[in-house]
Amino acid sequence: MSQFQSAIRKGLFLAIGLLGTATGYYGTKQIQDAGATNDWPTTDGKIVTSEMQPATKESPERPFVRFEYSLRGTIYRSSQYRQGVAGTTLSKSAAEELIKKYPLGAQVQVHYDPYNPGNSVIEGGDPTLGYLLCSVAVILFGTGAVLALRSRKKKLRVPSV
């Protein structure tokens, strides 16, 4: 194996390892954040916006649910109904179901971060994305290990005489 091929293999192993580490870290953080919201204190809140937002060039039609709540005289507003769903796309039926679940004016229980009261949700976190990312990290590490073992096996072969 040439030095160039060896350098490429080492770079590939390093890239797979770093990608696996980053993916695993982010997945673990998603799982922790989702679980933490279930333990946050709660307060009463109210749905102030509940509608389907029309599609744009950048995004499809999507639900928009905004709620507000008051803590120690400060009014907070949020549109993050559940931890870890920012940027995700719901099917049309799931989006409509969300709008029906939280109609305008409905009273809701708001879970808020005691260290950052502006960070809040009205549904406990869903760790599914975190578990998916951790699974991808395991696959990446497994792939890297297999490639490393195959590379090492090739180096150990002794040509027959």
In a domain, residue 161? The reply is: no
In a domain, residue 111? The reply is: yes
pLDDT confidence of residue 55: 79
Q: Is 30 exposed, middle or buried (0-12, 13-18, 19+ CB in 10 A)?
A: buried
In a domain, residue 60? The reply is: yes
pLDDT confidence of residue 114: 93
The structure tokens listed for 74 are 């400060």
Counted domains in the chain = 1
Give the amino acid at 9. Answer: R
Mean pLDDT by 10 residues, the chain (161 residues): 70 78 80 78 95 83 91 93 65 86 95 92 77 81 75 60 59
pLDDT confidence of residue 86: 55
DSSP, res 128: H
Which residues are CB-contacts of 114 (< 8 A; sequence separation ≥ 6)? 40, 41
pLDDT confidence of residue 73: 94
In a domain, residue 57? The reply is: yes
Closest Cα to residue 148, out of 14, 1, 36? 14
pTM of the prediction?
Answer: 0.63
Structural domain span for residue 22: 3-156
